[in-house]
Amino acid sequence: MELQVTKRLNECNPEDYKLLYIPGGLAPGALRQIPEAIHFVQEFAKSGNLIGAVCHGPQLLASAGLVKGRNMTFWHEVANEITEAGGVYVNEPMVEDGQFITARKPGDLPMELSRVFEHLQGK
């Protein structure tokens, strides 16, 4: 099953969103090959709004130049890539650093998403 495109990135305004969530798996590797995706992530980050990522998700953040000096967690197989981009690997289920909330793997999603929802509710 393929996803159906309902809106193109160049039609989206980052200011219209309160949360950017980057999934794991193969998606981040594909998204970082798309200049519009990199630009959208960079522009969204300027808003200071929340960015969540799981598993391979921080690869897109690294490609957007947003991981330097940030404490993050992610799938162990991308640890070298993220740390080479300046990210600090913390081997915990969930790590929050400023506007970024990251998780290592799908099993960590309940903890991460609970914190994401708290943050969106102003807690």
Residues recognised as catalytic: 55
Per-residue pLDDT of 35-71, as tens digits, reads 999 999 999 999 999 999 999 999 999 999 999 999 9
How large a percentage of the chain has pLDDT more than 90? Answer: 89
Q: What is the set of domains in the chain, with CATH numbers?
A: 16-118 (3.40.50.880)
pTM for the full predicted model: 0.92
Rounded Cα–Cα distance for residues 86 and 61 (Å): 11
- Could you report the per-residue pLDDT of 68-105, keeping only the tens digit for each? 999 999 999 999 999 999 999 999 999 999 999 999 99
pLDDT band at 3 (very low <50, low <70, confident <90, very high): low
Give the β-pairing of 71-72 and 100-103.
unpaired
